[in-house]
Amino acid sequence: MTESTTIRWEQDDTGVVTLVLDDPNQSANTMNQAFKDSIAAIADRAEAAVQADKDAIRGFIYTSAKKTFFAGGDLKEMIQVGPENARQAFEAGTGIKNSLRRIETLGKPVVAAINGAALGGGYEIALASHHRVALDAPGSKIGLPEVTLGLLPAGGGVTRTVRLMGIADALLKVLLQGTQYTPRRALENGLVHEVVATEEEMLAKARAFIDAHPESQQPWDVPGYRIPGGTPANPKFAANLPAFPANLKKQLAGAPYPAPRNILAAAVEGSQVDFETAQTIEARYFTELVTGQVSKNMIQAFFFDLQAVNSGANRPKGVEPKTVRKVAVLGAGMMGAGIAYSCARAGIEVVLKDVSAEAAQKGKGYSEKLCAKAVSRGRTTQEKADALLALITPTAVPADLAGCDAVIEAVFEDPALKHKVFQEIQDVVEPDALLCSNTSTLPITALAEGVSRPVDFIGLHFFSPVDKMPLVEIIKGERTGDEALARAFDLVRQINKTPIVVNDSRGFFTSRVIGHFINEGVAMVGEGVEPASVEQAAAQAGYPAKVLSLMDELTLTLPRKIRAETKRAVEEAGGTWPGHPAETVIDRMIDEFGRTGRSGGAGFYEYGEDGKRGRLWPGLREHFAKPGHEIPFRDMQERMLFSEALDTVRLLEEGVLTSVADANIGSIFGIGFPGWTGGVLQYINGYEGGLPGFVARARELAERYGERFTPPALLVEKADQGEKFSDS
Ligand code: NAI
């Protein structure tokens, strides 16, 4: 018999066995090999004990000795699983599932005392219990987020949620979005039975359940049990079924995410068979996902890279962490208003300054609107909303910025104005206040020349809408000091956003790279490709915004302005401007047809009086389309994806980017590079045939569509040496 090393068996003299989840080798419990052995040993021991003396054990309580209840699957193991280990992966999952099932069907009550986050495997242990009591611990989350890593919950998660809440609720509330619920919301949505405030209460409730149910089994093991809402075997249900695949297809817009499809299939097929067969079906669909490339990409980005970025792999070492107490936000327009809200939400006092008291108040009005909405939706209380709003002081008077230990400037994109507003306040705020600019295009090194302390000056590039967008791009100017960089990093973390760090360059990382995506889409219109196909190609590649509609949102005059400035800079430095086929399309749209985008009421799309987007402008076909001109759909998608990936490699070559994780995370969270790729450099790593495959394909695109697809030297070198893009 194997021994349990990660689960402690603690039996009291009343016959209640507490199964304490406590992996001695890790900070959190995971479903690793040791757990697989341990849970098997526990199942053996439990069966033997009950067999020897039916009354020796009265019930079981799963609980954890860690801060979290249980963290889920072991992602370090999973990311290694290739098709050659498919059998092993299938069997490993089956082993854990069988053990949980043996404990679940012993006839004794099993309770999950969820004393911290129970995500993925953790919630699956809870599902294999007859009763679930959750502690309302701060930050605690409950759910099955596997889909967000390109996987499905294969520890019985699909099989049991379908039986617990029915196919529709299991899919919509738990499986397809991977929603992470607070304990209270988990209770409201039927994921747990009780929520308690203290650990004592939690254990008391667990024992009370055991006392009240000396013989217990899962509802689905009671003969005659029916899955709530029915199954496809029922003609009434079957009539609704076709809506699921159709809705899913619509939601994914054709993007290559295999997990939702496999989840849907496992849920529907599993609902029509017995429990054991359903678990086998679930395991087969899981094995297909875990051995595939998309789950590897998503685990790399959304787990490993995100952790590296947020934990400060790029933060200068040795600078003491510092929290900001009071921040000055200069400019209360769209960005300033959003930045003020995000800071106040994190408990930071904000002085919001604009040219007039009215303009500043209008900026605060944005927070008032967001707060009112949050209260009406039950996401916050009136008291909390009032407290947040009380932190924001609108003003037009520079003297009111006294005591601010950080400044974030978000006035119009005009270097002279930016210099002026910094000069106005730099002697009013704290003498060592951190000085940040939210410029989206102006080089930070040049802007720093206009302030008295360039060493404390740094770029803090937020994305719109600020309250929703998780990323902030930190831009280090030539004279920015390490202290300022560390403090900017800490400030971004303080407001719960994800910081990436880049060196100064025109357009930094994000604006420069997204420009290639847009240019490529626009260029295809210019070549005569059907505009609707261009949009479709972007959607099916997995971009959250279609390319021409995005161009309209940003306004067509913006790339022209950036082009003029960049061209001048290139030529002043003695270079030649390479040009791009998108340029003539943009120029014609503006000069010939007067279409500047959404804000101008007309762009690649038509817009109603209310600003609502209508159909694609029929003039595009008339003036640009070449009937019968077609290029392969795959080329259309890869022109967009490759243009961004190739320029990211150039940014690494130029030293603007210094971290692969930053590039991956920045591309997904900042500029909508498709999540299934794992980010812009992981896309290259995971491309068919690896780096050599990517290089060959880039050369093919260069031959067909232009030199801009020629692979940069760094990429060719890495491909030749059999390397991948990695920070380690
Ligand atoms: P906006 O036009 O909505 O707001 C600018 C605000 O600055 C206005 O309220 C204006 O009254 C105020 N202002 C002008 N002079 C001032 C002064 N002397 N003192 C105080 N306030 C003054 O502009 P938006 O979109 O908020 O952009 C602001 C900055 O953020 C720009 O540098 C822009 O490039 C950058 N940015 C914009 C993004 C976007 O999506 N709109 C994204 C990222 C950065």
Domain boundary among 291, 315, 347: 291
Residue with CA nearest ligand 1 atom 9:
333
pLDDT at 625: 85
Q: Does the pLDDT at position 25 exceed 60? A: yes
The answer on 471 and 576 residing in a single domain is no
Domain identity same for 251 and 143: yes
The CATH number covering residue 578 comes to 1.10.1040.50
Is residue 159's pLDDT more than 60? Answer: yes
pLDDT number for residue 244: 74
pLDDT for residue 475 is more than 80: yes
What pLDDT is attached to residue 242? 65
pLDDT category of residue 1 using cuts at 50, 70 and 90: low
Instruction: State mean pLDDT over 691-705.
Output: 98
User: Residue 620: pLDDT above 60?
Assistant: yes
- Let me know whether 477 and 580 are in one domain: no
Q: Look over the chain and give the mean of its residue pLDDT values, rounded to a whole number.
A: 94
The answer to whether residues 158 and 139 touch, using CB atoms and an 8 Å cutoff, is: no
Q: Are residues 274 and 337 in the same domain?
A: no
Say if CB 518 and CB 535 are below 8 A apart: no
Q: Are 429 and 328 in contact (CB under 8 A)?
A: yes
The answer to whether residue 299 sits within a structural domain is: no
pLDDT for res 607: 97
Q: Residue 372: pLDDT above 60?
A: yes
Residue 321 lies in a domain: no
477 shares its domain with 538 = no
Q: Is residue 169 part of a domain?
A: yes
Pairwise CA distance, residues 593 & 280, whole Å: 60
Tell me, yes or no, whether 282 lies in a domain.
yes
Q: Would you say 291 and 82 are in contact if contact means Cβ atoms under 8 Å apart? A: yes
Q: Give the span between the Cα atoms of 61 and 276, in whole angstroms.
A: 24
Å from CA of 503 to ligand 1 middle: 23
Whether residue 351 has pLDDT greater than 80 = yes
Within this chain, do residues 476 and 516 fall inside the same structural domain, yes or no? no
Task: Give the start-end residues of each E strand in 118-253.
Answer: 118-119, 131-135, 142-143, 194-196
CA of 556 to the centre of ligand 1 (A): 19
Question: Which of 449, 483, 506 is where one domain is finished?
Answer: 506
162: in domain: yes
Contact assessment for residue 301 and residue 151, using Cβ atoms and an 8 Å cutoff:
no
Could you tell me the pLDDT band of residue 87, with boundaries at 50, 70 and 90? confident
Q: State the distance from the centre of ligand 1 to the C-alpha of 333, rounded, in angstroms.
A: 5
pTM for the whole thing? Answer: 0.93
- DSSP letter for each residue of 527-591: HT--HHHHHHHHHHHT-SS-HHHHHHHH-THHHHHHHHHHHHHHHHTT------THHHHHHIIII
- The total of structural domains in the chain comes to 3
Nearest protein Cα to ligand 1, atom 3? 333
CA–CA distance from 62 to each of 20, 109, 124, 206 (Å)?
6, 11, 12, 10
Based on the fold, state whether residues 139 and 160 are members of the same structural domain: yes
Residue-level pLDDT at 650: 98
Both tokens assigned to 215: 């013989």
Whether residue 26 has pLDDT greater than 70: yes
Under DSSP, is residue 412 helix (H, G, I), strand (E, B) or coil? coil
Residue owning the nearest CA to atom 36 of ligand 1: 440
| Beta strand extents in 471-543 (DSSP E only) | 471-476, 498-503
Whichever domain contains 194, its CATH number is: 3.90.226.10
13 and 117 inside one domain: yes
Structure confidence by residue, pLDDT tens digits, 404-431: 999 999 999 999 999 999 999 999 999 9
Site to probe by mutation for ligand 1, drawn from 353, 407, 440, 555 as the one with most ligand atoms within 8 Å of Cβ, is: 440
350 and 431 in a single domain? The answer is yes
**Residues 525 and 548 sit within 8 Å (Cβ to Cβ):** yes
Say whether 47 is catalytic.
Answer: no
CATH of the domain at 424: 3.40.50.720
Domain range enclosing 695: 511-655+659-721
* pLDDT tens string 201-212: 999 999 999 999
Question: Which tens digits make up the pLDDT trace of 515-525?
Answer: 999 999 999 99
The rounded percent of the chain whose pLDDT value lies above 70 is: 99
Q: Whose CA is nearest to atom 8 of ligand 1?
A: 333
Say if 191 falls within a structural domain. Answer: yes
Model confidence at 22, in pLDDT bands (50, 70, 90)?
very high
Whether 419 is covered by a domain: the verdict is yes
Q: Which of 329, 335, 565 to mutate to test the pocket of ligand 1 (most atoms within 8 A of CB)?
A: 335
CB within 8 A of 86, min separation 6: which ones? 287, 291
Q: For residues 428 and 188, what is the distance between their CA atoms, to the nearest angstrom?
A: 50
Mean pLDDT, to the nearest integer, of 236-252?
Answer: 73
Query: Pocket residues for ligand 1 (CB within 6 Å)?
Result: 330-336, 353-355, 359, 410-413, 417, 421, 438-440, 461-462, 464
Catalytic-role residue among 124, 349, 409, 644? 124
Report which ligand 1 atom has the smallest distance to the Cα of 439: 32
Protein residue with its CA nearest to atom 14 in ligand 1: 411
Res. 90 pLDDT band, cuts 50 70 90: confident
Q: What is the pLDDT of residues 101-147, one digit of tens each?
A: 999 999 999 999 999 999 999 999 999 999 999 999 988 999 999 99
Domain boundary among 291, 317, 344: 291
Same domain, 519 and 499: no
Q: Give the residue among 677, 342, 665 at the shortest CA–CA distance from 509.
A: 665
* Centre of ligand 1 from the C-alpha of residue 417, in Å: 11
Give, using CA atoms, the residue closest to atom 44 of ligand 1.
440
Within this chain, do residues 594 and 638 fall inside the same structural domain, yes or no? yes
Report the run of H or E that residue 182 belongs to, with start and end. Answer: none
678 has a pLDDT exceeding 80: yes
One domain, residues 257 and 352: no
Of the chain, the percentage scoring pLDDT greater than 90 comes to 88
124 among known catalytic residues: yes
Residue 302, domain member (yes or no): no
